[in-house]
Amino acid sequence: PYYVNINQNLYLEAYLHSSDPNLVLFLRTCVATPTPYNSTTAAYYIIRNGCVQDYTYATYYSPYRHILRFKFNAFQFIRSNPLVYLQCELMVCRAYDYSSRCYQGCVQRSKREASP
């Protein structure tokens, strides 16, 4: 575990270990839960489908495509134990493949029309 105070900035870095220099990392989803399991009942999304959901989230410059750096403020779930579990889903794409999911960025899913 990593212990921090509420509202303290958490700085994270994801690093892709690969001999291929033409790969790029993309943070697709990053969700916090009060348990180590994928709980959807008490999930707080920091990033969802590549879209920022938490106003404290920020990315930081990296000179390398295979390193992703970001931060957000620490928080605690209300009336719960003080632990917060972070689960992030990253995607690996070919650099300069502008049709790949990595280059699409934030994807808002369109709402479907409900028939009567």
pLDDT at res. 38 = 67
- pTM, full prediction: 0.81
Over the stretch 4-59, which tens digit does the pLDDT of each residue have?
888 899 999 999 999 998 999 999 999 988 888 766 668 889 999 999 999 999 99
For residue 111, the model assigns a pLDDT of 54
**What 8-state DSSP symbol labels residue 18?**
-
Contacts of 44 (CB under 8 A, 6+ apart): 31, 32, 33, 54, 75, 77
How far is CA 101 from each of CA 12, 15, 49, 104, rounded to the nearest angstrom?
22, 18, 10, 5
pLDDT of residue 22: 92
Please say whether the beta carbons of 72 and 53 come within 8 A: no
